């Protein structure tokens, strides 16, 4: 029987910190009246990520699976890979660094149950709690990105990049099958496609903490330029 909830966690060399994420996720789900699956997608990891996941204890109502491919393809590819293989009634993805705690999914689930096709966590909402902010250059680049995103794609959401989103199964299967970007900018592509296809999108507040040693770094002009290139590819990729 298909589970009520699927959680996809993209992971690239996360052996040093994914244990706490999986433990807290499993402990929380074990106390909920749901059946769930957790899919860890090893995006070309060269460390012990797969072994760490394989040693994790599970609960009666939760099954866990690690899927691996090589070489590394990017966060967007990893999320798409997992979402298209997930079997739950509601599909969700979250980051491996546990910047957003698993219990934050409850208002998102309520929005899905209330008729939203997509429920996206937003650090920009007044009710959200940001325990530790990113450094100033990253915050400024994020503001510039959001402005261009709004002007170019018409996305009015102030925070599209928070890695914590839930989907009705049918919407997820449709949107991720159409996704073309493999990079971190896939969130904007998915939300733009959702708007084009008339899906209902809702936002909910979260408690978020900045986690050091991010696997995705914007520490050079070349990498920042790549982000802008990816953003401006979205419309072109879907003209056909």
* Residue-number span of the structural domain to which 182 is assigned: 5-237
Tally of domains in the chain = 1
Q: For 12, which DSSP code?
A: S
CATH code, 217:
3.90.550.10
pLDDT at 45: 97
Whole-angstrom CA distances from 94 to 148, 161, 176 are 25, 11, 15
Question: What is the value of pTM for the model shown?
Answer: 0.93
pLDDT at 133: 62
pLDDT at 165: 98
pLDDT at 143: 76
pLDDT at 212: 72
What is the per-residue pLDDT across 160-218, written as a single tens digit (0 to 9) for each? 999 999 999 999 999 999 999 999 999 999 999 999 999 999 999 999 998 876 555 55
Among 22, 78, 26, 15, which residue's Cα sits nearest to residue 51? 15
pLDDT at 211: 84
- pLDDT under 70: residue ranges of the chain: 132-138, 140, 213-221, 240
């Amino acid at each position: 029987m298909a589970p009520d909830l699927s959680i996809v966690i993209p992971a690239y060399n996360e052996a040093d910190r994914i244990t706490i994420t999986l433990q807290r996720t499993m402990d929380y789900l074990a106390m909920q009246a749901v059946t769930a699956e957790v899919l860890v997608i090893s995006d070309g990891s060269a460390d012990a990520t797969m072994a760490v996941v394989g040693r994790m204890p599970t609960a009666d109502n939760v099954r866990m699976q690690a899927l691996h491919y090589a070489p590394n393809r990017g966060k967007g590819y990893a999320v798409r890979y997992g979402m298209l293989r997930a079997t739950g009634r509601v599909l969700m993805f979250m980051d491996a660094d546990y910047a957003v705690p698993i219990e934050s999914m409850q208002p998102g689930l309520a929005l899905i149950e209330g008729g939203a096709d997509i429920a996206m966590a937003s650090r920009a909402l007044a009710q959200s709690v940001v325990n530790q902010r990113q450094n100033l250059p990253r915050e400024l680049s994020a503001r510039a990105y959001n402005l261009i995103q709004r002007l170019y794609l018409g996305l009015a959401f102030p925070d599209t990049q928070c890695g914590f989103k839930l989907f009705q199964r049918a919407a997820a299967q449709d949107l991720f099958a159409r996704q073309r970007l493999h990079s971190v900018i896939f969130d904007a592509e998915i939300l733009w496609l959702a708007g084009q296809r008339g899906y209902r999108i809702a936002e909910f507040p979260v408690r978020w903490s900045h986690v050091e040693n991010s696997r995705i770094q914007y520490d050079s002009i070349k990498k920042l330029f790549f982000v802008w290139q990816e953003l401006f590819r979205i419309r072109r990729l879907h003209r056909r």
